[in-house]
Structure 1
Amino acid sequence: MKKVYIYKLFERFWHWSQALFIFILIVTGFEIHSTYNLLGYEAAVKIHNLTAWAFLVLIIFAIFWHFSIGEWRQYIPTTQLIKAQIDYYVLGIFKGASHPTKKLVYNKFNPLQRLIYLGLKILVIPVQVISGFLYLYFNYPIKGFELESLQLVAFFHTFGAFLLFSFIIAHIYLTTTGHKPLSSIKAMVTGWEEMDDETIKERLANDIEIALLKTKAQFKSAKDKSEFLDDALVAAQKNVGAKSSEDFRFRDAISSSGVGYFAISKDGMFSEVNEAWAKLYNYNSPTEIVGKHYRLSRTEEDFHELEKSVEKALQGETIKHGEVKRICKDGSFGYHTLTISPMIRNGKITGVEGFIIDTTDKRLAEKELLKKKISVEAELKKQKVEE
């Protein structure tokens, strides 16, 4: 485990200031509702109002900070890996499973956190601010507001308070689910979080990618420079040895493993295969297969089953198809396991990609063992009859 600087100074200041303001607002708010008597009604109202104004100022500065340095990207919702994240929180976390997502430059939040934080920022906080202002300026026509009753305002403001309180409880619990109970809290205090070598490698690759993409944006008018930076981006990712972007999710992981890689576009045509794939199918080079339909590698019966898996992958699922039979270029047959996943480019599913692992030798060995078993059983049966 090594320490990596992940939370900036203002980010930590904003986080803890927000936590303090929400805590004060909850304590004074419930006292205003006569839940208990701690500060006295008048003092609670005064502190509640002052804290609300301070919180509003903090929100304005936080919005400016998020947009000025690009941190707003953290809250863009995504459905990728959301099922895996739910499974992790429901079961995996109690079985010691690894976390399905990792903290990178623009990926500090997992899919569930993105949805929850975005909901807080565009729904809960605005509701609290608007209903709070209605409380402050109720029945003062000079100020621009006049209502017949506070009942509906009180309902929404109190409901929002309970949502915030529930969020805080869940948030505190989840901070204890790191590799150590207090590691996440400590990271938000110091800015440094402990990560394993694999995560650090992915973060480094992601840092390089973001830096190169930002630089490339400055050279849009110069095509040769843009292409040069594209090559530099690919080289940097490969040198780091980590899968840092969606474009290299499978390909980088198996580039030197001898496993067959393939990519199929939405129209069913092979858009890419690697040397290992071509070799398993007895083709001389990948160029012989690129541009052809994937049905050529299957029997009619096997194709229909594979077609269903491809359709599921195009809907966002990752399919472990198990062992399948392939038709090679020379008409011979082979066997391999098959995994298919959606191919995502710029946030959209553009096809499917996956890998195959040859099991032909294993299948032949099993057949030979079965033949030997049948032969031995027949011999034993013959001897028993003769006796």
Structure 2
Amino acid sequence: MKKVYIYKIFERFWHWTQALLILILMISGFEIHSSFDLIGYQKAVELHNVSAWIFLCLIVFAIFWHFTTGEWKQYIPTTKYLKAQFNYYIGGIFTGAPHPTKKLVYDKFNPLQRLIYLGLKILVIPVQVISGFLYLYFHYPAEGMELQSLEYVAVIHTFGAFLLLAFMIAHVYLTTTGHKPGSAIKAMITGWEEMSDEEIKERVISDIEASIKKSRAQLQSNVEIGDLFEAAMNKASLNAGVSSIADTRFKDAIENSGAGYFCIGKDGNYIDVNDTWFKLYKYDAKEEIIGKHYRLSRNKEDFEELQGNIDKVLKTGQIINHGEVKRICKDGSEGYHTLTMSPVYEEAEVVGVEGFIIDTTGQLLAEREMLKKQIRINDELDKKKTSKD
């Protein structure tokens, strides 16, 4: 096992400060409700109000940090591996089954954690803040709020407190399910988490792939380049008199290019591909793919994502940059390419989807091999250093 730095300083500060404030708010809040007598009603009210204001300031800083660093993307919900993660928690975790997801720098939370944390951030905590303000300014019409009764506010605020309490109990329990009972808590204190060599390799490879995708996205989102490309395509379309699928294939221009061209009908079947496309998919001739559905070149998860974007092109007519994807070739091997899709019109109606793919397999595999080689070299150096010590 080796240690990997995964939790940043502010991330740890925000986590523990939030936990402490929620704990103080719960203890003082339940004392206000006369659940027990610890510091007295008046002091509990004062402590609760001060902690609430500090918590609100922390939320503002946390929102700013999440959006400026891009960490907000960690909370985007996904159904990928959701069922596997649920099955792991209700059964696999007790039988020593492997974890269905990996903790990576751009993917720290599993699918269930994403849903729960997102729910807390956009539902539970906002409800607590709003109901708390209603409590704080109740019967103060001069300051802008006046309610007839606190009954419903009290029920909502207390229910939210019990949800937070249940979350904290479950959260603390799950921190003990790592390879060591206290490893997750220790990682959130120091920022360094223990991982196996295989997990470290996967994380570093993931970091590099994410950086590559980010660089490509920044290049592709360049406004001037985008404007020039769109203007050139519009001009070419007008000159060619584009009005139907048969007219939009631009065979002479694309047959000898390095990009693979494809055209798909509304039924999802391939209408046309160029030589580059079927060679990238390792077919012997385009006739092997024409008339077949595009699902044959994707696994289940990737197909669902691609289907969603193709449906969007067909329904809205917008051009979509699908980014880098994995393809399944005729012989079962895998490759990688970037993919863009645009609508095909016939008499002002979208009747299909066409686009281009650019192969990135060689570059991606070369980068992975260089990374693995560097990791092997570092491992050897570590072994030599250990033996000398």
Normalising by the smaller structure, the TM-score range is: 0.5 to 0.7
Q: For residues 347 and 111 of structure 1, what CA distance do their matches in structure 2 show? A: 21
How far did 1:198 drift? 2.6
Alignment partner, residue 111 of structure 1: 111
Using a 3 Å threshold, how does the CA distance of structure 1 residues 218 and 86 change in structure 2: closer, same or farther? closer
Paired residue total: 274
TM-score of the superposed pair, with normalisation by structure 2: 0.63
Alignment partner, residue 289 of structure 1: 288
Q: 1:169-180 alignment to 2 at 5 Å?
A: 169-180=169-180
The worse-fitting range, judged by mean Cα deviation, of 100-109 and 85-94 is 100-109
Q: 1:92-241 alignment to 2 at 5 Å?
A: 92-220=92-220, 221=222
Using a 3 Å threshold, how does the CA distance of structure 1 residues 356 and 165 change in structure 2: closer, same or farther? farther
Q: For residues 125 and 17 of structure 2, what CA distance do their matches in structure 1 show? A: 15
CA contact (8 A) 1:176 1:183 kept: yes
> Is 1:343 the counterpart of 2:344 in the alignment?
no
SS of the residue corresponding to residue 14 of structure 2 reads helix
Using a 3 Å threshold, how does the CA distance of structure 1 residues 132 and 74 change in structure 2: closer, same or farther? same
Alignment partner, residue 64 of structure 2: 64
SS of the residue corresponding to residue 176 of structure 1 reads coil
Q: For residues 111 and 164 of structure 2, what CA distance do their matches in structure 1 show? A: 19
How far did 1:104 drift? 1.5
TM-score of the superposed pair, with normalisation by structure 1: 0.63
> What's the CA shift string for 1:359-378, capped at 9, x where partnerless?
xxxxxxxxxxxxxxxxxxxx
SS of the residue corresponding to residue 193 of structure 2 reads strand
How far did 1:181 drift? 1.1
Higher Rg: 1
Alignment partner, residue 7 of structure 1: 7
The worse-fitting range, judged by mean Cα deviation, of 195-204 and 93-102 is 195-204
Using a 3 Å threshold, how does the CA distance of structure 1 residues 12 and 192 change in structure 2: closer, same or farther? same
CA contact (8 A) 1:84 1:100 kept: yes
Using a 3 Å threshold, how does the CA distance of structure 1 residues 38 and 208 change in structure 2: closer, same or farther? same
Q: For residues 179 and 172 of structure 1, what CA distance do their matches in structure 2 show? A: 15
Using a 3 Å threshold, how does the CA distance of structure 1 residues 349 and 217 change in structure 2: closer, same or farther? closer
Q: For residues 14 and 147 of structure 1, what CA distance do their matches in structure 2 show? A: 34
In the alignment, structure 2 segments of 5+ residues that lack a partner are 227-263, 312-325, 333-389
Alignment partner, residue 268 of structure 2: 267
Q: Which amino acid aligns with 1:67?
A: F
How far did 1:121 drift? 0.6
> What's the CA shift string for 1:127-147, capped at 9, x where partnerless?
110111111100111110001
> What's the CA shift string for 1:93-144, capped at 9, x where partnerless?
1111111111122211111111110110111101110111111100111110
Alignment partner, residue 84 of structure 1: 84
Using a 3 Å threshold, how does the CA distance of structure 1 residues 102 and 188 change in structure 2: closer, same or farther? same
Q: For residues 285 and 116 of structure 2, what CA distance do their matches in structure 1 show? A: 45
Alignment partner, residue 333 of structure 1: none
Q: Which amino acid aligns with 1:59?
A: I
> What's the CA shift string for 1:303-361, capped at 9, x where partnerless?
xxxxxxx79x99xxx7xxxxxxxxxxxxxxxxxxxxx6643557947699769999xxx
CA contact (8 A) 2:187 2:193 kept: yes
Q: For residues 53 and 219 of structure 2, what CA distance do their matches in structure 1 show? A: 44
In the alignment, structure 1 segments of 5+ residues that lack a partner are 225-263, 296-309, 319-339, 359-387
